[in-house]
Amino acid sequence: MAEDARQQAREFAALALRLHEKDSLEDTIGAVLEFAVRELDCSYAGVIFVHARQKIETVAATDPVVARLDEVQLACGEGPDLAIVGERRGFLVEDSSTDVRWPTWTRAVTDAGVRSVLGVPLHTTDQTIGSLNFYDVRPRHFDDDDLEVAGVLARHAAVALDAARDQDNLWRAIGSRHLIGMAQGILMERFAIDSDDAFAVLRRYSQNENVKLHAVAERVVAGRRLLDG
């Protein structure tokens, strides 16, 4: 194995360890983008997450231009990230001024001063969770070797991001349950009712006012009154 290849393998191993040590989804994405820009020597990078019905969302980017170009894809209904969801294949735009696959999007890319774009899917065994995209102001900056490197990075990143996203959801759920429990306790003391009745009050108010249950609990904990009785 050549020394460059060995060094790259060591860097990816170190990245994998750093990603799994991050405490939040935001920190994990930040580490991915920092490594991505450095490894591919590019101008910008961004991460997109895919939601139900192939809705895409820019969750992080190193420059606002990335989010603007993602919005163009949604607005015109064409672009590589919309295609990447189902195909699980990377894409390479060598020069946006001559690429004809997504004319509206590539025109916007060129107008934004970006000429080269590379993207790879972020997917686990079970699902595609999004894409990792690279941008550069120079034409023909990326090649097939970069596409391969980006694919390796995306495989490490996808596992870490999926785990971080699940962890964030878990902590939000735990926080909501804790908040609801506090609100129940306040109502139990205020109205001399038991836990089940206190929860019923919260749920009834949530349904009647069309407000999420955790938001109702926040109001109670903050001292704002609900319906008397």
In a domain, 107, yes or no: yes
Q: Do 188 and 156 belong to one domain?
A: no
Domain shared by 164 and 177, yes or no:
no
The reply to whether 197 and 111 lie within a common domain is no
227 part of a folded domain: no
- The confidence score (pLDDT) of residue 227 equals 46
Residue 209: what pLDDT? 81
CB atoms within 10 A of CB 21: 11
- What are residue 134's DSSP bridge partners? 45, 118
228 in a domain, yes or no? no
Judge contact between 90 and 83, C-beta under 8 A.
no
The verdict on 179 and 128 lying in the same domain is no
pLDDT score of 42: 95
Q: Which runs of consecutive H residues, i.e. helices, occur in the chain?
A: 3-21, 25-40, 64-76, 80-87, 103-111, 144-191, 195-209, 213-221
135: domain CATH number?
A: 3.30.450.40
Q: ∠ CA(168), CA(175), CA(129), 5° rounding?
A: 20
Residue 119 forms beta bridges with which residues? 91, 133
112 and 62 in one domain? yes
**Domains of the chain: total:** 2
Tell me, yes or no, whether 226 lies in a domain: no
Q: Which domain holds residue 135?
A: 3-169
Q: Which residues contact 195 (CB under 8 A, 6 or more apart)?
A: 184, 188
CA 50 to CA 126: how far, in whole Å?
A: 14
Same domain, 154 and 73: yes
Q: For the chain (length 229 residues), average pLDDT per consecutive 10?
A: 54 56 70 86 91 74 93 90 79 96 96 96 83 96 91 83 65 63 83 84 82 79 61
Residue 209: CATH number of its domain: 1.10.10.10
Please check whether residues 69 and 178 belong to one and the same domain. Answer: no
> Do the domain assignments include residue 189?
yes
Residue where a domain stops, chosen among 169, 189, 206: 169
pLDDT of residue 192: 86
Answer yes or no: do 94 and 196 share one domain.
no
Where is the domain boundary, 143, 169, 195?
A: 169
Asked whether residue 161 falls in the same domain as residue 182, the answer is no
In a domain, 55, yes or no: yes
Q: State the pLDDT at residue 11.
A: 62
The pLDDT assigned to 93 comes to 96
pLDDT at 27: 78
